[in-house]
Amino acid sequence: MTAETADVPAPQEPENTREPRLPKEAKSPRALAWTRRRHSAARFWREYRTHRAGVFGLAALVLIALAALFAPLLVGSDAQSVTEAPGEAMQSPSTEFPLGTDQFGRDLLALLVWGARISLTVGLLAAFLSVAIGTVVGITAGHFRGWYATVIMRVTDWFLVMPTLVLAIALASVMDRSIWTIVLAIGVTTWPTTARLVRAQTLAVESRPYIERAQALGGGHGHIMARHVLPNVMPLVLAQTTLVISSAILTEATLAFLGLGDPTVVSWGGLLQDAREAGAVSAGDWWYLAPPGIAIAVVALAFTLCGRAVESVLNPRLGVSR
Amino acid sequence: MDTQDQHGRTRSSSAAPAGKPRSRRPRGLRPRGLLVAAAAAALTLTGGLATPLNPAPQQADARPAQAKDDGKKTLTVAVAQSVDSLSPFVAQRLLSTSIHRLTYEYLTNYDAKDNHAVPAFATKWEPSADKLTWTYTIRSNSKWSDGKKATAEDAAWTFNKIMSKEGTATSNSNFVTNFKKVTAPSPTKLVIELKKPQSTMAALDVPIVPKHVWEKVDDISKFNNDKDFPVVGNGPFILSDFKVDQYVKLKANKNFWRGAPKFDELVFKTYKDQDAAVAALRKGEVSFVAGQPALTPAQANGLKGEPDIKVNNGPGRRFFAIATNPGARTQDGKKFGDGHPALLDKRVRQALFLSVDRKTIVDKVFQGNAVEGAGYIPPRFSDYTWKPSAEQELKYDPKRAARLLDEAGYKKKGGKRVGKDGKPLDFRILCHATDPNDKAVGKYLKEWWGDLGIGLKVNCLDDVSVPWYAGEYDLAFDGWSVNPDPDFVLGIHTCAALPEKAKESAATDNFICDKKFDELYEKQLAEYDPAKRAELVKQMQSWLYDSGYMNVIAYPNAVEAYRTDQIKSLTTMPSAAGNIYGQDGYWSWWSAVPASGKSSSDGGSSTGVIIGIAVAAVVLAGGGALIALRRRSTAEDRE
């Protein structure tokens, strides 16, 4: 992820993003804003396309997301059922079961597809929660300086030095076993990086003259933060989100592997945990262990590639090739 | 039950009785976070131990079972359970009581062949004509490891201490509640006077401790017997060292009256992760992997092809059951806990059990390494085991289950069973997070009961003892190891076992308290005729079966494995086809004969180290390169 205190570049002020070739006929301000947004999205995509790794990452993500979304159609909705399991226990890969079966005789390929749902959902939700907390903390800390910022940044520092996994394990084990617990545990333990990043950016934005102008015109705290600072830190937050997702998915898998997930839902980390408990490691049943592990790695990699590409599109100073 | 044990409460009567193998483990709830963290750390650690990266510390503390340079022969046993206490007055878990079997003498032992009582500390025992006075002749050739002679005086002191109930009866109270007086008129004669006849007098599974050592202990109820090593004892082994959750070391007692064990040292080494234990067995770092929890089918199949490893698959002493909360209460009838009120209806309990296909569970979850459940006592104990008749049997019959639920007033509305109060029928089931079988069976139950319209939440905890003692569960996975004498496992369902105060630990398993069951229990305890007693025990099982409080699903086999290049032979119990770890006597370890062959593990572990180091180097180099790249790319951003 991005270095925490980096003074990140720059999000363009809204005024500057206006494209020179605006339509001549007069339009409502709303329509103007939309045109402008459309143009900048198109420009974003043009630049994004030039990052080959980013495109690969995106393609992989779209594929996996589609598979997860259409899991019931692709592999059947009873693939998770143990009572309807089609195979024998621990069968090695065959034409009927391309990835073999688990200890209940369920098709591992189908479980892998179903597991994508939980892993992606938890990863996304946890990342959004984490980034949301980080953004709120970062913007407020950057905006209201003084004792508030001091206190809140010390809290951030404290969370920053706490080992995330240990904290998440502690949280997950005192609460009920469900995916919401995992989302919460990841969300509330991984926000400090985002908070620091956003705060730095907020400080940079707030030092610009137009903020002073807005204040002179009577803009209150809420107005400044929501209408001027937030849009400017948004690109940064977006890039940060894509990067946090991959670590959230990894953390989710880790927690599930440690047995802190909901044992009745299938997730990739949970599959690894099931495999370990069934003794697949010592029995050498690689088809049970490898696919979930590879899937976790691929998704985490894909999100990282996308995040990197987004980051360098939004921040030309990072250079083009990576 | 008690929640006491981790994998088992074992104590009990006889030999280790019960293990509740699956039982609740004693860790506390509040500290659960920490514990889980610790468990995670332990997992990582044991995982680490099992990897090739880490063989050195392993060898340093527990030597592999084989002849070392100094010629000492060590037998290392990998166990998953931790020791609750080394004090015979307190210990309940299978591991701890097995250690007591090995380090102290009991009045009697069980024959390895057919479980009948054989002489141990006592050479002869006989009741008086009125059956109320038992006289034991104590052997004169048993010596404590500090050189003093072991006499009837020690036995009398031990029993009197337990009877005093100063916190000393945690583990053996069921044996002494009936005792009036215990005296030692001479060093070789022990006399026990009873209030009522008691049928378990030849199966008193009470370790006899040395009076001259224990009378100096200030508070026996808090003493864990783990301060001064070696611990004075007179069994086939002497307890010589102990580190919590790491190992228990025993050395051979060369003066043991039955003959010295063939191995010089016996080490129980803790492996919280069974796969790590199996890996250690493959590498020869341990000689034996205890079947508790049993090896999974995949592990057993994987080991079967290995040279020098033998997998022992014997009939188990345990049952695996679903307990339903009958409404937790104290001895004086005060109710506590939050068990689901629907479970107070017998029809609902039976409906739940009717929709559990035991055959599928045996075939799929245990993959044949278990026997389908019926009565409470496993078929291995042929005298006492019981099977329901055809019309009494609650066979897998979801239709009948649905009918019963309809009758009980839980009609199906839109796929869910709804009570008269309009609330859907949703249960929680307590499961042991460390037991894969609980989770696997939980998946099946969720689907079967879901078809019936009943919701199920599988609540897996590392330590189930807290909600269990508090009565805060609807259903729970339960299991005990049963002794040759069934008194203990029956006694945990009597009213006398209920807790005195709400949420306190007690001998009760599942808060069952029923007058009829108690009457039968009293009768069987007083019945000296084995056939008549067995008949009473069967009636008790029949009552339990009908009640729906304890639904036995299966009797899992003990699946364990050992290295034949380190252990030449050992005795199973029953000797024809039985288990090795957690026997009712000390036969397995006392009889184990070391193999003379050299093990090949050394070469393996050094290549392991090289591979491990290479892998670590690659990972480090890769990580370093990545960081360097990243730093370079962000160089401009950094200030």
Superfamily of domain B74-315+559-594: Periplasmic binding protein-like II (3.40.190.10)
Instruction: Please report residues of B whose CB lies closer than 8 A to that of A176.
Output: 459
Record: contact B460-A263, CB cut-off 8 A: yes
Least confident of B33-47, B184-198, B290-304, B385-399: B33-47
Instruction: Assess whether the previous peptide bond of A14 is cis (omega < 30° from 0).
Output: no
The whole-number average pLDDT for the span B565-569 is: 88
Least confident of A212-221, B4-13, B262-271: B4-13
φ and ψ at B268, to 5 degrees? -100, 115
In chain B, where are the structural domains located? 74-315+559-594, 320-556
Instruction: Assess whether the previous peptide bond of B486 is cis (omega < 30° from 0).
Output: no
B442 at interface of A, judged by CB pairs closer than 8 A: yes
Instruction: Please report residues of B whose CB lies closer than 8 A to that of A103.
Output: 296-298, 367, 440
Instruction: Please report residues of A whose CB lies closer than 8 A to that of B291.
Output: none
Quickly state the pLDDT bin for B168 (edges 50, 70, 90).
low
Quickly state the pLDDT bin for A147 (edges 50, 70, 90).
very high
Please give the full DSSP string across A183-229, using - where no structure is assigned: HHHHHTTS-HHHHHHHHHHHHHHHTSHHHHHHHHTT--HHHIIIIII
Q: Give me the residue label for tokens 């809290």.
A: A155
Quickly state the pLDDT bin for A128 (edges 50, 70, 90).
very high
Output b/e per residue, B107-134; b: 16+ Cβ within 10 A: bbbbbbeebebeebbbeebebeeeebeb
Closest Cβ opposite residue B299 in set A3, A172, A279:
A279
Q: Chain A neighbours among B 323-382 (CB < 8 Å)? A: 360, 364-365, 367
Closest Cβ opposite residue A174 in set B32, B279, B633:
B32
Q: Which CATH class is domain B320-556?
A: alpha beta
Each residue of A99-125: pLDDT tens digit? Answer: 888 888 888 999 999 999 988 999 999
Helix (H) or strand (E) holding B567: strand B567-569
Each residue of B21-58: pLDDT tens digit? Answer: 444 433 333 344 444 444 444 444 344 333 443 434 44
Q: Which residue of B has its CA nearest to A8?
A: B637
What pLDDT score was predicted for residue B596?
77
Residue A293 has pLDDT above 80, yes or no: yes
Instruction: Please report residues of B whose CB lies closer than 8 A to that of A173.
Output: 32-33, 35-37, 462
Each residue of B577-587: pLDDT tens digit? Answer: 888 888 888 88
Instruction: Please report residues of B whose CB lies closer than 8 A to that of A170.
Output: 33-34, 36-37
Instruction: Please report residues of A whose CB lies closer than 8 A to that of B467.
Output: none
| Spatial separation of the C-alpha atoms in residues A47 and A28, rounded to whole Å | 29
Closest Cβ opposite residue A322 in set B279, B367, B633:
B633
Cα B451-B456-B460 angle, rounded to 5 deg: 140
Q: Which residue of B has its CA nearest to A89?
A: B364
For all residues of chain B together, what is the average pLDDT?
80
Spell out the domains of chain A, with CATH numbers in brackets: 116-270 (1.10.3720.10)
Q: Report whether A110 contacts A96 (CB < 8 A).
A: no
Closest Cβ opposite residue B364 in set A104, A263, A283:
A104
Least confident of B168-177, B417-426, B486-495: B168-177
Determine the distance in angstroms separating the CA of B74 from the nearest CA of chain A, rounded to an integer: 24
B462 at interface of A, judged by CB pairs closer than 8 A: yes
Output b/e per residue, B137-170; b: 16+ Cβ within 10 A: bbbeebebbeeeebbbbbbbbbbbbbbeeeebbb
Residue of B27, B283, B364, B438 to mutate when probing chain A, most A C-beta within 10 A = B364
Terminal alpha carbon distance of chain B: 64
Please give the full DSSP string across B54-100, using - where no structure is assigned: -HHHHHHHS--SS--TT---EEEEEESSPPS-S-TTT--BHHHHHHH
Amino acid at B282: R
Each residue of B342-372: pLDDT tens digit? Answer: 899 989 999 999 999 999 999 888 888 899 9
Quickly state the pLDDT bin for A15 (edges 50, 70, 90).
very low
Cβ atoms < 10 Å from Cβ of B403: 14
Q: Report whether B102 contacts B237 (CB < 8 A).
A: yes
What is the token pair recorded at B486?
């069934």
Q: Compute the count of residue pairs across chains A and B with CB atoms less than 8 Å apart.
A: 120
The whole-number average pLDDT for the span B130-146 is: 88
Record: contact B301-A283, CB cut-off 8 A: yes
Helices B398-407 + B436-452 axis angle, to 10: 60
Record: contact A170-B37, CB cut-off 8 A: yes
Q: Which residues of A touch B (CB under 8 A)?
A: 2-3, 5-8, 81-83, 85, 89-90, 103-105, 166, 169-174, 176-177, 258-260, 263-264, 274, 276-285, 317-319, 322
B298 at interface of A, judged by CB pairs closer than 8 A: yes
For residue B573, the cross-strand partners are B579
Record: contact A263-B439, CB cut-off 8 A: yes
